[in-house]
Every structure is written in structure tokens, then in C-alpha cells.
Structure 1
Amino acid sequence: MGRTPSQILTFWLSEHPSIVAFRWSHTQSWGSTWSFLFTSIAFYLFLSFLLRFFLSLLHRSGRPVPLGPLPAIHSLTMAIVSATIFAGILLSTASEIHETRWFWRRSKTPFQWLLCFPLGTRPSGRVFFWSYVYYLSRFFHMLRTFFTIIRRRRLPIFQLLNHSFMTCMSFLWLEFSQSFQVLAILSITLVYSVVYGYRFWTSIGLPSACFPFVLNCQIVVLGCHLAFHVGVLLLHFMKGGCNGIGAWVFNSLLNGVILFLFLNFYVKIHMGKRKSSEIVVAGHQRADMATIKSKAS
């Protein structure tokens, strides 16, 4: 008897032998060493500055360089990848809770397990397979920085820092079996599937939202992560400790820096819009005054 589509999907996203038997290893997992992490991020930053430098020398007109369908293809691909990771880690989490709940059910609820892995948790199995896929996807995210440099003729410092920090955090999640990473990946990939779908929507010429949609989505994610971090801290002291708490502290610092950068960027956008609207209003008022004076004379 054939399997149903849901059973086929469940098998390929959570029950495949490669997923179940996954193990984070410096010798078997590509990109799993500290040297690779630091080298790749340094190369990403160097290439971004180098691209900006050459564009400033070779293309002085200031006009954006046409990229054709590349940004749209990248956005569509990232939307599909993010949706796949979200579905995969969601099904894998359900399977892990069902199979291992006997081990921790007396001390934790499923939600508490999502926030606080038991001490001694190893980076192996279904959940960590999708965490590894998410880590690898961070390098594909970085391509958007090069699109921004080519089109806008400037270095997106915020993007550079954000991508570098997020790649470091996803590496720490695997290296130290850090708690809370499941909820973090679920929230990030869910929002990314929407955000990149929206970017694909607008890149093919369809109408955009009347508010900073992408930025608001990112603020929501960071707000959720702040709440998750508070939950991890409470459970760490109330339930006898959470796995990877040292990496969690460093992760919290990086998240704090990203949140500060986001809020600073958010305020600048709104202040810029406010100033531009005030200039437009002042211009209209001056035009009205000039019209009144001309009529009076």
C-alpha cells in the first residue's frame, strides 16, 4: 500500500536515515571548524570592501548596476530554503519530543525542553541536522550584501555585521548544543520565508507594502528572541541548568548588539521620513503664501 503525501513529506524531512543519524563532527561536517568560521567571515568582509572599492574606481557615475533577475532568483530560492528548514525542524522537533520525552518528562514540559536542553545534550539527531542546514544557509544569505553594494553604491555596514553575527551564532548553536536554538530557527525561518517571498514579490514588479515590512518583521523576530533568552535564563536557575549556557551568554550579547543596530536603523528611517515630510509641508506652505501674496498684489 502506497504512502500518503504527508507520510512521504515526513519521511524526507524527519525520518530519512541521513537526518536521524546526523552528528555534528569537525571531521565529517563541512564547515564545522573554528578556522573555517573565522576564515569565511573574514573573506566575506574582505570581498565586500574590495567590491565597493573597485566599483568606486570603475563606475563613478553613481547609477546602479543592473543585476537582471539575480535578486529575484535569490529571494525566491531563500524563501523556499527557509520554508523547507522550518517544515523540517518542526517535524523533527515533534518526532524528538515523542521519542525522548520519557527521559525528561518529569522535570520539563515540551516547551521548556525547547528553551532548555538537558545538560549533556549532544549535537546529533534530527533537530541538529536542520540546525546544520540553517548554518549552511547563512552563507547563501550573504549574497544579498553583494547585491546591495552593486545596486546602491555603498557598504551596508548593518548587513555586514548582521550576517557575520548570525553566522557565528548558528555555529555556536551546533558546537555547544546550545539551548533555545529550536525556537530561534523556527521563528527566523518562518519570518525569512515571508520576507524573501515579499522581496521576490516586489522584485518582479508587484506592489509593495506602505510601511517598512521587512524591517518590522526583523524587529518582531528580535523581540521574540529577547523573550526566549529571558525564558532560558529563568529555566537555567529553576530547573538545574541548561545545556550550552556559556555559548548562550555570548549569543545574548550578539543578539543585544543586533537589536541595538536594528532599533538605531529603525529610528533613523522614521526620523528621515519625518524630516522629508516636514520639508514637503513647509514647501507647500511657502507656495501657498506666495500665491496669497500674488493675489493680494
Structure 2
Amino acid sequence: MTRETLIYYLSEHPEIVNFRWSHTQSWGSTWSFLFTSIFTYVFLSLLLHLLLLPRRRPVPLGPIPALHSLFMALISVTIFTGILFSAAAEIRDTRWFWRRTKTTPFQWFLCFPLGTRPSGRVFFWSYIFYLTRFLHTLRTFFAILRRRSLSFFRLFNHSILILMSFLWLEFSQSFQIVGILMTTSIYAVVYGYRFWTAIGLRSACFPFVINCQMALLASNLICHVGVLLLHLKKGGCNGIGAWWINSVLNAAILLLFLNFYVNSHLKERRKNPSPSPEPHDHGAAKGNAVPATVEADLIGRGDTKDKDI
């Protein structure tokens, strides 16, 4: 596939260029669908968790989690590439207007001009990103079937991420381009790593997933500050009301994550006050001889060194 063909199918196809977020034309675009889907996700997760309480052994899932990780890694790369090409095309097509408003491409990435409508290339990929949030929740059911603990953080995090991606589209919220670029790049790496370990290859000797989550949250915090500064400087960014809600929800996720991060490290130190890796410890982490396949199966548990992202 040539570069021109790739650009066409990722940013110039009529379905992408003419996309419009509409309650009548876009699947999953209504408020009733949003709250119903979140309620259904939480209800089914709790129900499955209660039904499996008497069962001691995990339900065998075979290659399903690995295939899910591979698919999520590929779709994350596709969304990242698509929105990057689409943003470049939007900059090319609207540069004449930005010169009149003294807006730079960097400012546009963080701060949409007032009156921006949820239509066109960028919002097409934002819509695809919104839909993949539902695929992302499948990890909760994998975790329950594997007899891992069902944490409040997992349910809250996935539910809030669905809500925030909906708000991006509903209110043409500023910051979403950068948010999607950062999130999909991290997701591509994390899900690629999960697929790598799920097929039995060597895992990292440090909490890889939790460090990726920390990097994503820190980047989000910096970008939110940038949006606020541009909003005050330029006299307004589009969708700033939804941005405030987004900021509060991100702050809640950050506090919950930091609480887990601190507690997990304290627990790790109590268990291993003086770690000393053995020379023959292939793929072990911090002195614990855990094979790569076993460690990969533990990723996402609240009592291990990695946290679901």
C-alpha cells in the first residue's frame, strides 16, 4: 500500500471528510444510550463477579485475551495514524482562516475556536475512538473470569473514559486531538506488550503497565494546564464547560491511581525489603521468580505490580 493510498483511506475518504456527529445518524450518540451502556457494563460486571464467587478455579479463556490485546494494539495504531493525518489535512485546509484569527497549529491542537462543530476528519476518528472504549471494557470481564478481584477503580475508570470520550464529541471539546494521540500511543504500546507476554514471551523486569499509566496521566495534566492558559489568553476555547467536567473526572482518576500506586509500592516493600535477583532468574521481577506467562496473567490485578489501563 502506497503512502497516498494510506492517506486517502485514513483522512480523505468521503466517509471521513463528510462525517457529522448526529443523534440520528451516529450509533451510540444519544445520552440515553450513554447512561444505559455504562449502567449495563457495571451491572453485568457485578453480576458475573457474584455468579463466579463460588467457583475457585479461573475460567479458561484460551487465546481470546491475547487476540483482544493484538486487535486493540492494531486499532490504536490505526486511530493514532488516522487522526494525525486528519489533523494535518485540517491544518492545510483551514490555515487561511487561522491567519485571520492569529491561531497557530499548536494552539488549535489544544484549543478549538469558539463555534467548532463536531464534523469532519478529526471528529470521525474521535468517534471511532469513542466506540473502541466499549471494546476496552472487555478486559473487565476477562479479569472476572480469571478470578481476579473486581476493583472499584476498574469499573470507575472504564465508565468515566466512556463518558469523557462522549463529551468530546457532544460538545466539540478542545484538547481531544492531543488526548486521543497520547492515549492511543500508550494503548498501542501497552496492548502490544500484553500480547507479547500473553503468547509466552519475556516480560519487563519493572511494572511496565503502571508506568505507562502514570506517564499518560502526567501528560494529560500538563495538557489540561495548557488548555486553561490558552482559554484565558485567547478569550475562549470551544467546549470549555465539558473540559471542566473532563478535568474533574481526570483528577478523580489520578487520585485513585496515586492511592493504588502508593499502596502497591508499600506492600511490595513489606514483602521484599531487600530484593536480590538471582543470576538464573529469567524474566523475574525484583527478585520474585515469576515466569513471563504467569506475570502476564497477573497484569491488571489490584494486588500486583501492574494496574489495568
2:163 to 165, 168, 172: 168
Higher helix share: 1
Quote the residue 2:240 is aligned against: 245
Residue 233 in structure 1 maps to residue 223 in structure 2: no
Name the CA distance, whole Å, in 1 between partners of 2:275 and 2:66: 33
Instruction: Return 210-219 or 31-40, whichever deviates more.
Output: 210-219
Give the aligned residue type for 1:121. T
Quote the residue 1:132 is aligned against: 127
- Partner SS, residue 18 of structure 1: helix
Name the CA distance, whole Å, in 2 between partners of 1:140 and 1:147: 12
Quote the residue 2:288 is aligned against: none
- Partner SS, residue 93 of structure 2: helix
Name the CA distance, whole Å, in 2 between partners of 1:98 and 1:171: 27
Give the aligned residue type for 2:262. V
2:272 to 265, 272, 277: 277
**TM-score in terms of structure 1 length:** 0.90
**TM-score in terms of structure 2 length:** 0.87
Give the aligned residue type for 1:28. Q
Quote the residue 1:119 is aligned against: 114
Name the CA distance, whole Å, in 1 between partners of 2:102 and 2:270: 55
Name the CA distance, whole Å, in 2 between partners of 1:279 and 1:119: 56
Q: 8 Å contact 1:14–1:91 — kept in the other structure?
A: yes
2:204 to 206, 209, 214: 209
Name the CA distance, whole Å, in 1 between partners of 2:168 and 2:70: 26
Give the aligned residue type for 2:16. I
Superposed counterparts of 1:5-20, under 5 Å: 5-20=2-17
Quote the residue 2:149 is aligned against: 154
CA RMSD of aligned residues (A): 1.3
Name the CA distance, whole Å, in 2 between partners of 1:157 and 1:264: 12
Quote the residue 1:84 is aligned against: 78
Which structure would you say has the larger Rg? Answer: 1
Instruction: Return 154-163 or 21-30, whichever deviates more.
Output: 154-163
- Partner SS, residue 85 of structure 2: helix
Quote the residue 1:33 is aligned against: 30
Query: What is the CA deviation profile of residues 214-255 of structure 1, one whole-angstrom value per residue up to 9, with x for unaligned ones?
Result: 111011111111111111111111111000000000000000
Quote the residue 1:200 is aligned against: 195
- Partner SS, residue 161 of structure 1: helix
Quote the residue 1:48 is aligned against: 45
Residue 260 in structure 1 maps to residue 291 in structure 2: no
Quote the residue 2:68 is aligned against: 74
Report deviation, 1:152: 2.9
Superposed counterparts of 1:279-294, under 5 Å: none
Report deviation, 1:279: 8.8
Q: 8 Å contact 1:145–1:156 — kept in the other structure?
A: no
| Structure 1 runs of 4+ with >4 Å offset | none
- Partner SS, residue 53 of structure 2: helix
Residue 65 in structure 1 maps to residue 66 in structure 2: no
Task: Give the % identical residues.
Answer: 67
Structure 1 pair 191–280 and aligned structure 2 pair: CA distance change class (3 A): closer
Instruction: Return 151-160 or 227-236, whichever deviates more.
Output: 151-160
Name the CA distance, whole Å, in 1 between partners of 2:121 and 2:265: 42
Report deviation, 1:154: 2.2
Instruction: Return 152-161 or 14-23, whichever deviates more.
Output: 152-161
Query: What is the CA deviation profile of residues 165-190 of structure 1, one whole-angstrom value per residue up to 9, with x for unaligned ones?
Result: 10000000000000000000000001
- Partner SS, residue 278 of structure 1: coil
Name the CA distance, whole Å, in 1 between partners of 2:259 and 2:95: 42
| Runs of 5+ unmatched residues, structure 1 | 282-297
Quote the residue 1:184 is aligned against: 179
Name the CA distance, whole Å, in 2 between partners of 1:260 and 1:149: 24
Quote the residue 2:20 is aligned against: 23
Q: 8 Å contact 1:116–1:243 — kept in the other structure?
A: yes
Q: 8 Å contact 1:13–1:92 — kept in the other structure?
A: yes
2:98 to 104, 113, 127: 104
| Runs of 5+ unmatched residues, structure 2 | 277-309
Name the CA distance, whole Å, in 2 between partners of 1:279 and 1:76: 36
Report deviation, 1:153: 3.8
Report deviation, 1:65: 2.1
Report deviation, 1:147: 0.5
Give the aligned residue type for 2:2. P
